[in-house]
A = this chain, B = another copy of it.
Amino acid sequence: MKTTAGRSNPEGRSLKDEEMERMDAYWRAANYLSVGQIYLLDNPLLREPLRLEHVKPRLLGHWGTTPGLNFIYVHLNRVIRAGDLDMIYVAGPGHGGPALVANTWLEGTYSEVYPDISRDEEGMRRLFRQFSFPGGIPSHVAPETPGSIHEGGELGYALSHAFGAVFDNPDLIAACVVGDGEAETGPLAASWYSNKFLNPVTDGAVLPILHLNGYKIANPTILARIPPQELASLFVGLGYEPYFVEGDEPAAMHRSMAEAMDAAIAEIRSIQRKARTAGNMAPPRWPMIILRTPKGWTGPKTVDGKQTEGSWRSHQVPFGDMAGKPDRVPLLEKWMKGYRPEELFDGGGRLRPELAELAPKGTRRMGANPHANGGILLKDLAMPDYREYAVDVPKPGGVTAEATRVMGRMLRDVMKRNAEARNFRVMGPDETASNRLDALFEATDRTWVAATVPGDDHLSPGGRVMEILSEHTCQGWLEGYLLTGRHGLFSCYEAFIHIVDS
């Protein structure tokens, strides 16, 4: 294990042994439940020797990213409890659906939303069976996954969704896992620039966690294979302060991750305090975590003699053909028993109480955070009567007017009426004025947190018109903003905009 973060403190031991061991057990529980979802139809606690009929006939799911997502979840739970944080979890590798389902079941939110998936052995059996199964749930993070505003599927929007979620939510932190596959996409690559649009006074914070597990479907990833000094340089250049957590030995990794998390949260709080109480608006260098782990961490080391943990072979189901190869069912049983389920669940299949207490309570649980369920926070916009903006046309052809300029005046008044509620923004690729919506600038500015020079036109950190020359970022910001219960408009004249928007 190597902790290269200059600011972290490898000897600091912020994590006590006892807590570390319980967190490791909680992580094992999440991993156990993840494997169970991918593979099992029945026999969820492995009370009986595992047999072929306990295994799903068709295996569909993504193991590779899942243990990393679980590892991050348990560490976020720790800092949420320690700091009473208001936090949501954006899983860029949304194909790791088993992780989010497992964790929300462990913390209790899953069973609150879906009472038939109870927190006991029968619930666990159903939890496993429903996953990626006819009549069940998708294998990806989906709208029905508690705590999710970000679906698995098209990669690229994790970070812009996270930023969209925290705009105008000053107490919210969006922890955003960015996979090293997604990091190669255009929409994601551009969205790192979102930090130039985040106001530390009135917005919340995003904690990006770049998860380098090294492989995509069948290839290594770029960011996992560039020299470490280039990797650090890249994120410093993007305006972040990276904390590195790297390795595969669980105890050391728990300690390193806890230290990085503590440092990152402290840094977020420090930036916010400086801006909010001391008025320091120098563009901050927000923390991020770069987590390097094996792909399919804790999964089978080899299958058929080929490296599987730490390889692209872990991307989906590490081994299949359960009926055709006699070593498969015992291999699965050995893998799952390696998590020592008897230490994790009681005789009734319930998470042991000393582990259950590691989860935050109530709406602090990431599966129950109301920001991830925007409909319950949504308030109607205060709207003017659109008739007031009608153009008076006393006789046909007698008046010259522009439709969007008229609309701009109405948007200006929408902006004014909702200024106090802070729940309306306009996004676009630097076309607000071109689109004749510039009456908006009578009511607000363009959002801009980077440097300014004399002569700049309506730029300020508090501006509510967000202009970046990336339609993908605009789209992601707006989705994140809307899905957390606010309102907005994305204006663009490009012929291809309906494509980006689709």
Please give the distance in Å from A317's CB to the nearest CB on chain B: 13
A459 contacts across to B, CB distance below 8 A:
219-220
A225 contacts across to B, CB distance below 8 A:
196, 450-452
Please give the distance in Å from A72's CB to the nearest CB on chain B: 21
A470 engages B237 (CB within 8 Å): no
B219 engages A473 (CB within 8 Å): no
A11 proximal to B (CB < 8 A): no
Closest B residue by C-beta to A221: B469
A87 proximal to B (CB < 8 A): no
Closest B residue by C-beta to A196: B222
A388 proximal to B (CB < 8 A): no
A382 proximal to B (CB < 8 A): no
A155 proximal to B (CB < 8 A): yes
Interface string of A441-468 (1 = CB under 8 A from B): 0000010101111011101000000011
A280 proximal to B (CB < 8 A): no
A216 contacts across to B, CB distance below 8 A:
430, 467, 469
A502 proximal to B (CB < 8 A): yes
Candidates B190, B450, B499; contact of A185 at CB < 8 Å: B190
Interface string of A296-330 (1 = CB under 8 A from B): 00000000000100011000000000000000000
A200 proximal to B (CB < 8 A): no
Interface string of A28-67 (1 = CB under 8 A from B): 0000000000000000000000000000000000000000
Indicate the size class of the contact surface on chain A: 35 or more
A433 proximal to B (CB < 8 A): yes
Candidates B189, B231, B467, B496; contact of A190 at CB < 8 Å: B189
B468 engages A222 (CB within 8 Å): yes
A234 engages B238 (CB within 8 Å): yes
Closest B residue by C-beta to A237: B234
A472 proximal to B (CB < 8 A): yes
A400 proximal to B (CB < 8 A): no
CB within 8 Å of B: which A463-502 residues:
467-473, 494, 496, 499, 502
Task: Using known A-B contacts A226-B450, A232-B237, A237-B236, determine if residue A220 contacts B184 with beta carbons closer than 8 Å.
Answer: no
Interface string of A182-206 (1 = CB under 8 A from B): 1011111111110010000000000
Candidates B217, B227, B233, B430; contact of A181 at CB < 8 Å: B430
B472 engages A186 (CB within 8 Å): yes
B469 engages A182 (CB within 8 Å): yes
Candidates B218, B231, B450; contact of A222 at CB < 8 Å: B450
Task: Using known A-B contacts A181-B469, A469-B181, determine if residue A193 contacts B219 with beta carbons closer than 8 Å.
Answer: no
Please give the distance in Å from A110's CB to the nearest CB on chain B: 28
Distance of A34 Cα from B236 Cα, bound (Å): 39
Closest 9 CB pairs of A and B: A234-B237, A186-B186, A233-B237, A189-B189, A184-B469, A186-B190, A189-B190, A225-B450, A186-B472
B184 engages A219 (CB within 8 Å): no
A155 engages B239 (CB within 8 Å): no
A432 engages B218 (CB within 8 Å): yes
Please give the distance in Å from A225's CB to the nearest CB on chain B: 4
Closest B residue by C-beta to A456: B220
Distance of A232 Cα from B446 Cα, bound (Å): 27
A235 contacts across to B, CB distance below 8 A:
237
A434 proximal to B (CB < 8 A): yes
B193 engages A222 (CB within 8 Å): yes
A184 engages B189 (CB within 8 Å): no
A392 contacts across to B, CB distance below 8 A:
none
Interface string of A341-375 (1 = CB under 8 A from B): 00000000000000000000000000000000000
